[in-house]
């Protein structure tokens, strides 16, 4: 979201699902949506069956790549190199949308100079993708009538994830594939309400409605509405800590108390051994959850909450920015309480005087109406209207009209007043993964998801699936042969941070030197013990996608202090 | 809690695994002498609120943070960020997304 | 496509057969050697989805070469085409000619329908190694069998005189006697009265010079001179209706496709002649292939099609070889391809070889089959003229219908339309088989009676008498000796509650076990129902069971009247609720047999 906000001022995917279905060219970049976003992929498939060309840029020939007309199998962490090479080729082939660049962007010349070194040959050498493939992708994307670039964590879960995103945005700016029907940039979100969480201001640098905390008018508006003006709670002008910074602050002893709501950082963080240690060191840890997660086991107080999709009233916002109602069908079991009610109770016990009614329905609608006063992009979305229209995409500033389904149409306006701030090109520099491969750690480990499981398995683990085969370390056929590893043989995988065991699975979607694991089974195989904590300074996202590991057959292991995979 | 997966490395055996962490918690829990025990809502909420108030008093508002949930509703996320900002006075809130 | 492929691998023979269709494997992702390049590039997507229509060809290739479609071959086809193995298997298992149980290098398919059955063929006492087959479309030479010898190339031979001793000899390894010349199937050959059949037996089927010497390609020149609209007008004026059984006005069909704003338009020639007792299209294709090619070219010109398909029955090896050679000759003479005869019109034809599924003669099932899917009929509407093959406007015409276009253009539509009767214009081919002296394809002008046709065929053998006549095939109906003076026109047969269908006239003499014939028809429909819609899938089974109970008396607790009422009810349900003609007509012959009293 940071990348999109930098370029366009708003951190959301620019297109609607309908537009994806009607695109002529779709580039899935670092996204195995076939497995990880199966519903979104149905929209992609509609486009594909309608004749759209599909490209997949991914180190693995993932299930998504198997659907693609062309798979570009780049080396892990060379996304910027590939994007810059594509940019140079588009420029040199004369395929830029010059009038769009002149009118709606800034920094083109500096950007063009910065990619000049990225000839097809250089790009090919760095990324591993053949010259012809790069040329085909560049030309097809640039000359398409309607083109989409979609990405997921393969782009963002790097130490330079924001730069990765910016490098993709550059391509859209070069070709004018943004701000109009059918063309756009679509980051796919991992959960039903990642978009909404950010939109609501549950992030350290933005208030509700994606309004910048640095903006004094914004702070004043919220201070007034919340009655904070002149109190010691008046909103601070500085950004708060993002996730990784919070863990760093725990390490320093600066962060002493944490309220964890529906999250499981003890298992979901890169380098989870370290995360557990830090959480244990807190003075006060309150966990509000449905289940006694690994994190809840460490808490001082555990508060049983409500499931968001069936026990709660409210709204969620999907990847196309559509706000939709979610309705309560069940009461939470036992003494478990509504999540909003618990937080309101917590506030009032600490001296606040919040009154949002008594029932979840009253609370939800009163909260919603309060935030509509504060967030212009939600202003026009009453519950009644959300109901009537089956959800509304933001921005929706007016309660009697709707905006187009795509964002940034202003960039195509001839009127400078409407056009507003031009979208800046970003000079982004190729920056390989933090952990380089060495003789000791010669394999690149990348992580991802499978269709049958959801994240750390808290929600999906108890349901059986014929597709599920447990955690494995997937290795290329070439490596398996070279090392004499049989399919299913348990091997030891070690990084500079720890060692785990897992059965090997020979998978021809991988090339020699590349291995793959999920993080769906932390209690059996805690993959995040291996991943690296290096994070992007701009977004705080960890580099889950590129660790350096070694693989040893158990019989010949050189690691005497190996730890059992079971996380004991 | 029974988290004994030590030997469960056989891919075929992990199908349809049942994890005890999937049993819903239906009662508030508080830690006494290092062990979690059941408590009333009033006791648990008092403990939780008092803990935050104490830390704020001792270490300042920025010593407190919130990990919010990307699967929860907009309304829950709004009220959670309002809590950290308006009740605590800190901007330390972020949404995880890998649970 | 995300493919999950089992460990079975293709044999060298199977791989070679697939390579012969698709060319050698291009890369490690498609069954070739995995190289450095494969670590960074893979192609799939549209280029592979375009291979789907080649699935039947691929299955034929491995089935022909290896004598079956093995799991390894399924996997290899999947790898090469990006079609999931389950999809490949589902298609393979739909078609009877694809052998799935294990290699069978020498398959003998013995026809057990209609004329062959009347001539003594039976499915109950076949020796091991012989398979009972539905009608093989060679009823004039009944009884017959089809020998398929796997190999590269596979050899398909029609076995005539397939009596038990012949069957035993062939199974023991004997080479069958070559089949008789196609002229023998047209006893009228050389007669000046013939219009549609006039060249058969008189010309070398593969000589373009012969064909031209007998007014070949004059009709196409005439069409080019007339232009598209006037060509369709001639067909309309000739009152030509479809000869495949449904009798839809051809001119209307052509005009509907010609007027569709969506392109491309497609032309499909339905040569899946599988109606038991039918063999006229085969005789035309074997004896006068250029007439079909010329007629298709005219149809394509009139309706704006650039490409045509001949969907040919898989059991017609000689028709296949003849048509293939004729297409090559026509192409090299500039009669197919770009700018035909300098007209600026371009058109070409490919053959899709069926694989043993009666249902594929249904006009929408044929599309699914050409597209590489199971041959299941589609719901209508949309009708083929609007959304047919590959969802584009499509003309589907039967072989006989198409060749009528030639005399229509040569004589003029009005003159041709004046032939025949008020309700049935023009010439008609009949497939006369069974207990007549000279079975074969006969051409008459509409209006001839059943007796006249039988007389043309030399009357009955050895002073036997007519017990029943099957008109229109399994989907048609039985008539008795009392109907011999019925004119073989659409109006007269309709008035008698029968139909001409595909022109089947199979004569049963008084020695034939008619109960057995009727039971075989019930079994035929049960076997050939595609299973897609419930009324037909369940109805054809229940119909056979009920019929069996009636004739064997295995349920004494149920009165005959009750069983007949049930049978009639089943027939009505199939007629009302089946989505295609198969289910809708599956009760016709049985109903007529009951009314005729042959079951009592």
Encode pLDDT of C170-184 as tens digits: 999 999 999 999 999
Q: What is the DSSP letter of C469?
A: E
- Angstrom CA distances, C408 to A5, C306, C395, stand at 72, 22, 18
Q: Which of A296, A41, A323 is nearest to A192 (CA)?
A: A323
Token output for C483: 């109907």
Instruction: Name the pairing type of β-strands C348-353 and C305-312.
Output: parallel
Round to whole Å and give the CA distance between C467 and C480.
6
What mean pLDDT do residues C484-510 have? 95
Please give the pLDDT value at position A123.
97
Query: A262-266, C44-48, C470-474 — which one is most confidently predicted on average?
Result: C470-474
Query: Is residue A14 predicted with pLDDT exceeding 80?
Result: yes
* Minimum mean pLDDT range among A484-493, C53-62, C263-272: A484-493
- Residue B7: pLDDT band with limits 50, 70, 90: very low
- Residue A86, preceding bond cis, omega within 30 degrees? no
Query: Which residue of chain A has the CA closest to C2?
Result: A63
Q: Which residues of A touch B92 (CB under 8 A)?
A: 204, 240-241, 246, 255
Q: How far is C381 from chain A (nearest CA, A)?
A: 22
pLDDT, chain C, mean: 95
Q: pLDDT at position C553, please?
A: 84
What mean pLDDT comes out for the span C296-301? 98
Q: What percent of chain A has pLDDT over 90?
A: 67
pLDDT tens digits for range A215-251: 999 999 999 999 999 998 999 999 999 988 999 999 9
The whole-number average pLDDT for the span C395-412 is 98
Q: Using 50, 70 and 90 to split pLDDT, how confident is the model at B13?
A: very low
Q: pLDDT for B78-93, tens place per residue?
A: 999 999 999 999 999 9
Whole-number pLDDT of residue C18:
97
Between A and B, how many residue pairs show a Cβ–Cβ distance under 8 A?
Answer: 375
- What residue spans of C349-435 are helical by DSSP H? 365-370, 399-411, 413-417
And the tokens for A124? 């090919």
- Minimum Cα–Cα distance from A133: chain C residue: C41
Q: Binning pLDDT at 50, 70 and 90, where does residue A196 land?
A: confident
Contacting residues of A for C44, CB less than 8 Å apart: 66-69, 71
pLDDT at A268: 76
pLDDT of residue A524: 67
pLDDT at A541: 64
Provide the pLDDT for residue B14: 33
Average pLDDT estimate for C456-472: 93
Q: How many Å lie between the alpha carbon of C360 and the closest alpha carbon of chain A?
A: 25
Instruction: Say if residues A301 and A346 touch (Cβ distance below 8 Å).
Output: no
Q: pLDDT grade, residue B5 (50/70/90)? A: very low
Q: Kindly report which listed range (C235-239, C261-265, C459-463) carries the lowest average pLDDT score.
A: C459-463
Looking at the predicted structure, is the pLDDT value of residue C302 above 90?
yes
Q: Which residue has the higher pLDDT, A454 or C427?
A: C427
**DSSP assigned state of C169:** H
Q: What pLDDT, on a 0 to 100 scale, did the predictor assign at position A563?
A: 39
Give the minimum alpha-carbon distance from A344 to chain B in angstroms, rounded to a whole number: 8
Instruction: For residue range A97-134, list pLDDT tens digits in order.
Output: 999 999 999 999 999 999 999 999 999 999 999 999 99
| Region C321-335 average pLDDT | 98
* pLDDT, chain A, mean: 89
What is the per-residue pLDDT for C393?
98
pLDDT of residue A568: 29
Where is pLDDT greater, at B15 or C507?
A: C507
Nearest to A33 by CA among A3, A4, A10, A55: A55
Give the pLDDT band (50/70/90) at residue A280: very high
pLDDT at A535: 65
Cβ within 8 Å of A, C 536-555: none
pLDDT of residue C44: 92
Q: Over the Cα atoms of chain C, what is R_g? A: 24
Q: What is the pLDDT of residue C513?
A: 95
Residues A345-360: what's their mean pLDDT? 95
Average pLDDT estimate for C245-250: 91
Q: The tokens of C298 are what?
A: 């005219």
A173 sits in which H/E element: helix A161-175
| Mean pLDDT, residues A48-66 | 94
Which of C42, C46, C47 is nearest residue A71 as measured by Cβ atoms?
A: C42
For residues A10-36, give the mean pLDDT: 90
At residue B2, the pLDDT reads 32
Confidence of residue A195 (pLDDT cuts 50, 70, 90): confident
Which residue does chain C place closest to A510, by CA atoms? Answer: C39
C92-119: pLDDT as tens digits: 999 999 999 999 999 999 999 999 999 9
**Predicted local confidence at residue B97, as pLDDT:** 53
- What letter does residue C249 receive in the DSSP assignment? B
Model confidence at A461, pLDDT cuts 50, 70, 90, reads low
Q: In the structure, do chain C and chain A come into contact, i.e. share 3 or more CB pairs under 8 Å?
A: yes
Name every chain A residue with its beta carbon within 8 A of the beta carbon of C45.
48, 53-54, 67-70
pLDDT (mean) for C563-576: 96
**φ and ψ at residue C190, rounded to 5 degrees:** 95, -15
Task: Say if CB B89 and CB A223 are below 8 A apart.
Answer: no
Per-residue confidence (pLDDT) for residue C6, from 0 to 100: 81
- The residue with tokens 């014929």 is A466
Say what the pLDDT of residue A451 is: 67
Q: Which chain B residue lies closest to A269 (C-alpha atoms)?
A: B98
Q: What are A's interface residues with C at a Cβ cutoff of 8 A? A: 34, 48, 51, 53-54, 61, 63, 65-74, 128-130, 133, 477-478, 508, 511-512
- Please identify among residues 61-90 of chain B the ones whose CB lies closer than 8 Å to any CB of chain A: 61-90
C73-98 pLDDT, tens digit per residue, is: 999 999 999 999 999 999 999 999 99
Q: Mean pLDDT, to the nearest integer, of A510-518?
A: 92
User: In the predicted model, is pLDDT for residue C469 greater than 50?
Assistant: yes
Tell me: pLDDT of A558 over 50: no
- The DSSP string of A211-230 is EETT-HHHHHHHHHHHT-TT
């Amino acid at each position: 979201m940071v990348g999109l906000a930098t370029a366009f001022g708003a951190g959301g995917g620019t297109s609607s699902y309908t537009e994806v279905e009607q695109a002529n060219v779709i580039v899935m970049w670092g996204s195995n949506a076939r497995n990880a976003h199966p519903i979104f992929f149905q929209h992609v498939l509609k486009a594909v069956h309608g004749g759209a060309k599909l490209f997949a840029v991914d180190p693995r020939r993932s299930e998504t790549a198997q659907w693609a007309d062309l798979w570009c199998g780049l080396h892990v962490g060379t996304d910027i190199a590939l994007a810059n090479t594509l940019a140079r080729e588009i420029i040199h082939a004369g395929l830029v949308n010059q009038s769009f660049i002149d009118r709606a962007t800034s920094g083109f010349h500096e950007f063009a100079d910065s990619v000049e070194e990225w000839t097809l040959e250089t790009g090919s050498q760095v990324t591993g993708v053949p010259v012809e493939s790069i040329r085909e992708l560049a030309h097809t994307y640039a000359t398409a009538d309607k083109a989409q670039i979609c990405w997921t964590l393969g782009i963002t879960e790097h130490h330079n994830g924001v730069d990765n995103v910016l490098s993709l945005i550059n391509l859209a700016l070069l070709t004018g594939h943004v701000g109009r029907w059918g063309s756009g940039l679509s980051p796919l979100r991992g959960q039903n309400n990642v978009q909404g969480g950010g939109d609501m201001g549950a992030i350290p640098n933005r208030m509700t409605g994606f309004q910048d905390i640095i903006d004094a008018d914004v702070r004043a508006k919220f201070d007034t509405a919340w009655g904070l003006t002149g109190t010691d709670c008046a909103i601070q002008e500085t950004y708060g800590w993002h996730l990784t910074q919070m863990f760093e602050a725990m390490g320093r002893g600066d962060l002493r108390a944490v309220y964890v709501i529906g999250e499981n950082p003890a298992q979901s963080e890169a380098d989870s051994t370290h995360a557990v240690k830090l959480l244990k060191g807190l003075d006060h840890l309150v966990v509000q959850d449905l289940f006694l997660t690994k994190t809840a086991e460490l808490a001082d107080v555990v508060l049983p909450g409500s499931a968001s999709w069936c026990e709660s009233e409210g709204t969620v916002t999907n990847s196309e920015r559509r706000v939709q109602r979610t309705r309560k069908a069940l009461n939470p079991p036992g003494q478990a309480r509504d999540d909003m009610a618990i937080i309101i109770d917590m506030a009032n016990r600490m001296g606040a005087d919040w009154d949002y009614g008594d029932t979840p329905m009253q609370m939800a609608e009163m909260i919603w109406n309060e935030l509509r006063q504060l967030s212009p992009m939600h202003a026009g979305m009453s519950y009644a209207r959300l109901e009537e229209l089956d959800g509304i995409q933001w921005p929706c500033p007016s309660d009697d009209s709707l905006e187009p389904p795509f964002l940034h149409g202003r960039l195509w306006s001839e009127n400078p007043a409407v056009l507003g701030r031009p979208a800046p090109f970003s000079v982004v520099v190729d920056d390989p993964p933090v952990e380089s491969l060495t003789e000791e750690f010669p394999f690149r480990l990348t992580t991802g998801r499978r269709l049958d499981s959801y994240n750390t398995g808290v929600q999906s683990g108890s349901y059986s699936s014929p597709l599920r085969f447990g955690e494995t370390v997937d290795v290329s056929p070439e490596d398996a042969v070279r090392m004499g590893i049989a399919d299913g043989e348990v091997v030891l995988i070690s990084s500079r941070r720890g060692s785990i065991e897992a059965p090997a699975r020979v998978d021809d979607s991988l090339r020699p030197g590349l291995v793959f694991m999920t993080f769906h089974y932390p209690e059996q195989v805690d993959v995040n013990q291996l991943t690296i904590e290096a994070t992007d300074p701009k977004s705080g996202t960890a580099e889950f996608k590129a660790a350096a590991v070694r693989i040893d057959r158990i019989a010949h292991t050189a690691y005497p202090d190996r730890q059992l995979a079971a996380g004991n | 809690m029974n988290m004994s997966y030590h030997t469960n490395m056989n891919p075929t055996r992990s199908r349809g695994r049942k994890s005890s962490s999937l049993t819903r918690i239906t009662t508030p829990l508080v830690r006494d002498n290092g062990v979690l025990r059941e408590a009333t809502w009033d006791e648990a909420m008092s403990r939780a609120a008092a803990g935050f108030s104490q830390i704020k008093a001792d270490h300042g508002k920025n010593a407190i943070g919130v990990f919010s949930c990307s699967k929860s509703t907009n309304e829950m996320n709004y009220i959670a960020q309002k809590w950290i900002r308006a009740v605590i006075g800190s901007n330390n809130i972020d949404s995880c997304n890998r649970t | 496509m995300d493919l999950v492929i089992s460990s079975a691998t293709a044999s060298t023979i199977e791989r070679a057969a697939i390579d012969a269709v698709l060319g050698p494997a291009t890369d490690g992702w498609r069954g070739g050697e995995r190289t450095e390049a494969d670590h960074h590039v893979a192609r799939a997507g549209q280029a592979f989805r375009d291979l789907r229509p080649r699935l039947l060809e691929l299955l034929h290739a491995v089935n022909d070469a290896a004598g079956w479609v093995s799991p390894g071959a399924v996997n290899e086809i999947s790898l090469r085409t990006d079609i999931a193995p389950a999809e490949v298997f589902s298609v393979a298992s739909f078609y009877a000619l694809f052998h799935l149980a294990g290699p069978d290098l020498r398959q003998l398919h013995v026809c057990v329908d209609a004329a062959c059955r009347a001539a003594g063929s039976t499915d109950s006492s076949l020796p091991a190694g012989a398979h009972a087959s539905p009608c093989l479309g060679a009823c004039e030479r009944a009884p017959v069998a089809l020998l398929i010898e796997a190999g590269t190339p596979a050899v398909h031979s029609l076995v005539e005189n397939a009596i038990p001793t012949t069957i035993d000899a062939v199974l023991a390894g004997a080479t069958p006697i070559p089949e008789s010349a196609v002229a023998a199937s047209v006893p009228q050959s050389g007669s000046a009265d013939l219009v549609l059949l006039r060249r058969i037996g008189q010309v070398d089927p593969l000589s373009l010079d012969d064909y031209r010497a007998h007014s070949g390609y004059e009709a196409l020149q005439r069409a080019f001179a007339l232009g598209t609209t006037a060509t369709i007008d001639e067909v309309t004026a000739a009152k030509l209706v479809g000869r495949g059984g449904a009798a839809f006005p051809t001119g209307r069909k052509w005009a509907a496709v010609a007027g569709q704003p969506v392109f491309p338009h497609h032309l499909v020639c339905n040569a899946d002649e599988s109606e038991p007792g039918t063999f006229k299209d085969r005789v035309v294709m074997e004896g006068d292939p250029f007439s079909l090619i010329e007629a298709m070219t005219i149809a394509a010109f009139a309706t704006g099609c650039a490409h045509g398909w001949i969907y040919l029955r898989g059991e017609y090896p000689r028709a296949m070889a003849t048509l293939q050679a004729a297409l090559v000759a026509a192409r090299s003479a500039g009669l197919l391809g770009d700018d035909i005869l300098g007209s600026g019109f371009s058109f070409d034809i490919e053959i899709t070889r069926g694989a043993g599924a009666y249902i594929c003669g249904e006009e929408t099932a044929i599309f699914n089959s050409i597209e590489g899917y199971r041959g299941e009929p589609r719901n209508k509407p949309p009708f083929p003229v609007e959304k047919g093959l590959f969802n584009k406007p499509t003309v589907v015409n039967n072989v006989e219908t198409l060749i009528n276009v030639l005399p229509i253009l040569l004589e003029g539509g009005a003159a041709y339309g004046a032939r025949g009767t008020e309700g049935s214009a023009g010439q008609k081919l009949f497939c006369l088989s069974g207990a007549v002296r000279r079975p074969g394809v006969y051409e008459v002008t509409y209006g001839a009676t059943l007796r006249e046709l039988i007389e043309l065929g030399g009357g009955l053998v050895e002073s036997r008498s007519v017990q029943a006549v099957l008109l229109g095939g399994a989907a048609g109906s039985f008539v008795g000796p009392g109907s011999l003076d019925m004119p073989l026109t659409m109006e007269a047969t309709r008035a008698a509650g029968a139909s001409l269908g595909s022109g089947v006239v199979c004569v049963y003499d008084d020695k034939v076990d008619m109960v057995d014939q009727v039971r075989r028809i019930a079994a035929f429909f049960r076997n050939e129902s595609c299973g897609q819609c419930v009324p037909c899938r369940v109805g054809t089974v229940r119909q056979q069971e009920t019929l069996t109970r009636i004739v064997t008396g295995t349920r004494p607790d149920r009165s005959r009247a009750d069983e007949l009422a049930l049978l009639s009810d089943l027939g009505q349900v199939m007629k009302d609720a089946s989505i295609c003609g198969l289910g809708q007509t599956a009760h016709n012959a049985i109903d007529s047999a009951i009314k005729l009293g042959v079951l009592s």
